[in-house]
Amino acid sequence: MISNVHSHSHWCRHGRGNLEDYVKEGLRCGLQSMAVCEHVASEMPMGPRMPWSDMPAYLAEADEVIERYGKQIELFKAFECEYFPEALERFVQLRDHHDVPLWILGQHESADHRYDYFAMQDRDAETRQYTADVIVALNTGFFQLLAHPDVILVNYDRPTPLVMECMDRIFAECEKLKVAVEINANGLRRPTGYPNREIWMLSKKYKLTTIISSDAHDPRCLVDDAVHQTEQMAAAWGIEITPKLKLK
């Protein structure tokens, strides 16, 4: 790994370490570039998240870290966020006024707030809803990267025909819209079901920009065994990995 764009610090309320800790670890691990990344602030009840009241302090810290270390490593700001139609304008303002070039779609809750995809009650209905949410979000043109597309496997033992059909639709949309996809190493740090071989073999049907992200929630995990295992899995599956995501 020479670049990582997806990680989370103490600001997200379910991570550890500050932004400088991550940059220092990135330098120690020999990364050439990395995103100063966090879940975008939210007012939604999705579990631990940074509140909007913290956003000015977070952005100030991000700018300070980028200024301090920007000559040693390529740094830029990024946010992972759900697609919520009512919040999109706020995200646009953040992008345009605070120099946030990378927006990562990580859909954990349905766009209408009915479902938490980590606590599925009706798996098939929610899998269809997840797919619809992701496709609508991708078509906004706002996101450059789809995080953990196979996140819906958190409550499946293995991909079902419906899951494979839905993943096929999502990968086709990513190819059409030129949105990159992420093989997420954090899925290997806990029992999640992803990254999944069947799903990533399916992705090979399409011409996709595929990256590996750490999705670390502790700076010590930025480039760890889970990242190395993910790299080995991708190689074994014959998936071409783009080492460094190009931002427009």
Give per-residue pLDDT as tens, 104-139: 999 988 888 888 877 778 889 999 999 999 999 999
Stretches where the chain sits below pLDDT 50 are none
Which among 215, 140, 201 has a CA at the least distance from the CA of 173? Answer: 140
Residue 248 placed within a domain: no
Is 134 within the bounds of a domain?
yes
Nearest to 62, CA basis, from 80, 75, 81: 75
At residue 220, the pLDDT reads 96
247 occurs within a structural domain: no
Kindly give the residue spans of alpha helices, DSSP state H, lying in 6-54.
19-28
Q: Provide the pLDDT for residue 113.
A: 83
Q: Is the dihedral of CA 125, 129, 130, 131 positive or negative?
A: positive
Domains: count for the chain = 1
- Is residue 242 a part of any domain in this protein? no
Contact 56, 64 (CB under 8 A): no
Confidence (pTM): 0.95
231 CB neighbour count, 10 Å cutoff: 16
Looking at residue 114, its pLDDT comes to 81
Spatial contact of 137 and 105, defined as CB atoms under 8 Å apart: yes
Give the pLDDT confidence score for residue 194 in this predicted structure: 93
The CATH number of the domain holding residue 162 is 3.20.20.140
Q: Is residue 26 part of a domain?
A: yes
Residue 244 lies in a domain: no
Q: Which residue range(s) make up the domain with 79?
A: 3-237
Residue 46 is predicted with a pLDDT of 60
